[in-house]
Amino acid sequence: MVMAKAWVIGKTFDGAPTESNFRLIEEDVPAPKQGEFACEALYLSVNPYERRSSDTAPVGSPLMGYQVARVTESKNSEYPVGTVLQLYCGWRTRSLINTKEIPKVVKMTKLPDFGGKEPSLALGVLGIPGVTAYLGLLDVCEPKAGETVLVSGSGGALGSVVGQIAKIKGCKVIGIVGSNKKCDWLKSLGFDHVFNYREAKVDDALKSAAPNGVDCFFDNVGGELSYRVLQHMNNFGRVNVCGAMSSYNYGDKQPLIPSPFIACMCKRLKIQGFSVLDHADKFEESRTQILKWINEGKVKYREEVQHGFEKMPHAFLTALKGNVAGKIIVKV
């Protein structure tokens, strides 16, 4: 028996959460029996989208998210000690896994070797954010060389990769971010124009950055900002509704925004929701392509590492506020 730590919901979320919404507990992890193995978390991811699923979760429910873990004790020959895994098993330091009983929701995979790069990349550029960027851009936005691609929330783990892939595809790329530091970072990655939505007048900034209109809009933010962007789209433009950062804290009290349907009809836009969970079959090939681009210096990434499992709520709140450029992870 080993003692592990886990974070659970301590107080129901209502609006923007604070550290008082989270509770740290201890739990016993029994030694593995035949067919089982135990693993310890090395890195954990905090994801803004988990805010939505926590809305209705009762007090005491685990906070969910991906982690990279290493097998520490094993009675399962397929998972010897030292195997590195990615799994979706909540904010906990240790887990006991029985591969026969493991629910599908745990989404466990053995991690490939990233050629000496840290396995933490499986939570960011080589994980859900990177693969969502890749598939969401190519499958939904279908960018063609010479077109203009606009990415909202582009200073985050996902948006920063979208813009770089659009550049690889020969597009002009515009980013929208919430700080001047993020503007500088994205320009250093090759974005053609980046503006700060907190300072600029969005319509003026778009007229100046995209005088010929926007062909592809990769939207991570939603709300009023997205409505404004639609007014600058070209006929037959493509919109990937990938995230809604501006609305996660509102729960069922969403603010009203003007209808997008008039722009959609007049400009014959394709507006499509996207979930990477529908594309499990393309995950490994997408990851391989992104790793190739990283090795060629065509895709760059930024990780902000917070140290200590106790930092999980702080890291999550930081991610929700969008205060960090790139991917925030917690190293245990």
Q: Which pair of structure tokens corresponds to residue 7?
A: 């974070």
Residue ranges in 261-280 that form contacts with ligand NAP under rule CB under 6 A: 274-276
CA–CA distance, 9 with 93 (Å, rounded to integer): 16
Count of residues interacting with ligand NAP (CB under 6 A): 30
Closer CB to ligand NAP, 169 or 327, in the complex: 327
86 binds ligand NAP (CB under 6 A): no
Residue ranges in 25-84 that form contacts with ligand NAP under rule CB under 6 A: 48-49
- Is residue 66 a contact partner of residue 95, using CB atoms and an 8 Å limit? no
CA–CA distance, 84 with 65 (Å, rounded to integer): 17
Stretch that binds ligand NAP, among 163-171, 244-252, 264-272, 308-316 (CB under 6 A): 244-252
Residue from 21, 67, 220, 286 binding ligand NAP (CB under 6 A): 220
Residue from 69, 221, 290, 291 binding ligand NAP (CB under 6 A): 221
CA–CA distance, 161 with 301 (Å, rounded to integer): 8
**Long-range contacts from 59-62, C-beta under 8 angstroms, 24+ separation:** 59/8, 59/9, 59/10, 59/11, 59/12, 60/8, 60/9, 61/8, 61/9, 62/6, 62/7, 62/8, 62/9, 62/90, 62/91, 62/92
Nearest-10 Cα torsion for 46, 49, 50, 55: 140
Closer CB to ligand NAP, 40 or 303, in the complex: 303
Stretch that binds ligand NAP, among 62-70, 87-95, 219-227, 257-265 (CB under 6 A): 219-227
Shortest distance in whole angstroms from residue 94 CB to ligand NAP: 25
Shortest distance in whole angstroms from residue 176 CB to ligand NAP: 7
Residue ranges in 111-140 that form contacts with ligand NAP under rule CB under 6 A: 128-129, 132
Shortest distance in whole angstroms from residue 248 CB to ligand NAP: 7
Residue from 87, 126, 151, 242 binding ligand NAP (CB under 6 A): 242
Stretch that binds ligand NAP, among 17-25, 27-35, 80-88, 220-228 (CB under 6 A): 220-228
DSSP string over 237-282:
EEEEE---GGGGGGTT-PPP---SHHHHHHTT-EEEE--GGGGGGG
Q: What is the phi/psi pair of residue 73, to 5°?
A: -150, 130
Closer CB to ligand NAP, 83 or 318, in the complex: 318
Q: What is the enclosing helix (H) or strand (E) of 131?
A: helix 128-135
Q: Which pair of structure tokens corresponds to residue 226?
A: 């997205």
Closer CB to ligand NAP, 35 or 223, in the complex: 223
Distances (CA, A) of 287 to 94, 144, 163: 26, 22, 17
Sign of CA dihedral 309, 46, 314, 103: negative
Other C-beta atoms closer than 10 Å to the C-beta of 264 total: 16
Closer CB to ligand NAP, 38 or 315, in the complex: 315
Shortest distance in whole angstroms from residue 134 CB to ligand NAP: 11
Residue ranges in 146-205 that form contacts with ligand NAP under rule CB under 6 A: 153, 155-159, 177-179, 182, 197
Shortest distance in whole angstroms from residue 74 CB to ligand NAP: 31
Which residues contact ligand NAP by CB under 6 A?
A: 48-49, 128-129, 132, 153, 155-159, 177-179, 182, 197, 220-221, 225, 242-246, 274-276, 319, 322, 327
